[in-house]
Amino acid sequence: MSSLLLPLLLPLLLITACLPYAVHRSTLESNHKTNGTRRYAPPTVADMYAYQDDDELYAYAQAANSSESERPSAVRNSESNTNKDAGDLYNSSLAYIEHPLVKKWIKYFTVKEHARFQRFLNRGEYYRSYIQSELQEHGLPTDLYYLAMIESGFVNNARSKAYAVGIWQFMRRTGAFHGLLIDSFIDQRMDVVASTAAAISYLQDLNRVYQSWWLAIASYNSGEVRVLRAVMRRDTRDFFELIEKRVLPEETVNYVPKFIAAMHIGRHYRHYGFELKSERVFALQRFNLYRVPPQTRLAEIAAETNCSLKALKSHNVSVRRGVVHPTKHINVRIPVDCRSLTTAQRKKFEQQSKKRLLAYRRQEIKGRYRVRRGDSLYSLARRFNTSVRSLLLANNLTSSRIYAGQLLKIVGRSSNSEKMASKRHRDLAKQMAAADRADSGRVIQHRVRRGESLYRIAKKYDVSVKQLKRTNNLRKSRIYPGQIIKVINL
- Per-residue pLDDT reduced to its tens digit, 164-187: 999 999 999 999 999 999 987 899
* CATH for 479: 3.10.350.10
Q: How many domains does the chain have?
A: 5
pLDDT of 345 strictly over 50: yes
State the average pLDDT over residues 336-359. Answer: 87
- Are residues 319 and 425 located together in one domain of the fold? no
- Are residues 343 and 294 located together in one domain of the fold? yes
* CATH for 430: 3.10.350
Residue 426 structural domain: 368-438
State the average pLDDT over residues 148-152. Answer: 95
pLDDT recorded at residue 205:
93
Most confident of 34-43, 51-60, 225-234, 399-408: 225-234
266-319 residue pLDDT tens: 999 999 999 987 777 888 888 999 999 998 999 999 999 999 999 999 999 999
143: confidence class by pLDDT, cuts 50, 70, 90: very high
Burial 410-420 (b: 16+ CB within 10 A, else e): bbeeebeebee
pLDDT recorded at residue 433:
52
pLDDT recorded at residue 363:
53
Q: What percent of the chain has pLDDT over 90?
A: 36
pTM of the model: 0.62
Would residue 279 count as lying in a domain? no
Residues annotated as part of the active site: 151
- Are residues 373 and 337 located together in one domain of the fold? no
Would residue 7 count as lying in a domain? no
- Are residues 340 and 421 located together in one domain of the fold? no
Q: Are 73 and 284 in contact (CB under 8 A)?
A: no
pLDDT recorded at residue 256:
95
388-445 residue pLDDT tens: 877 887 777 777 788 887 888 887 654 443 444 444 445 545 555 555 444 444 578 8
Q: Rounded to whole angstroms, how far apart are CA atoms 273 and 238? A: 33
Q: Rounded to whole angstroms, how far apart are CA atoms 189 and 171? A: 9
* CATH for 239: 1.10.530.10
Would residue 13 count as lying in a domain? no
- Are residues 313 and 450 located together in one domain of the fold? no
pLDDT of 109 strictly over 70: yes
**Domain end residue (candidates: 337, 360, 383):** 360
pLDDT of 365 strictly over 60: no
66-100 residue pLDDT tens: 433 333 333 333 333 323 333 478 888 888 989 99
- Are residues 429 and 317 located together in one domain of the fold? no
CA atoms within 13 A on the CB side of 490: 16
Q: What percent of the chain has pLDDT over 70?
A: 73
The pLDDT mean for the chain works out to 77
CA atoms within 13 A on the CB side of 402: 26
- Are residues 142 and 193 located together in one domain of the fold? yes
pLDDT of 482 strictly over 50: yes
Would residue 12 count as lying in a domain? no
pLDDT recorded at residue 216:
94
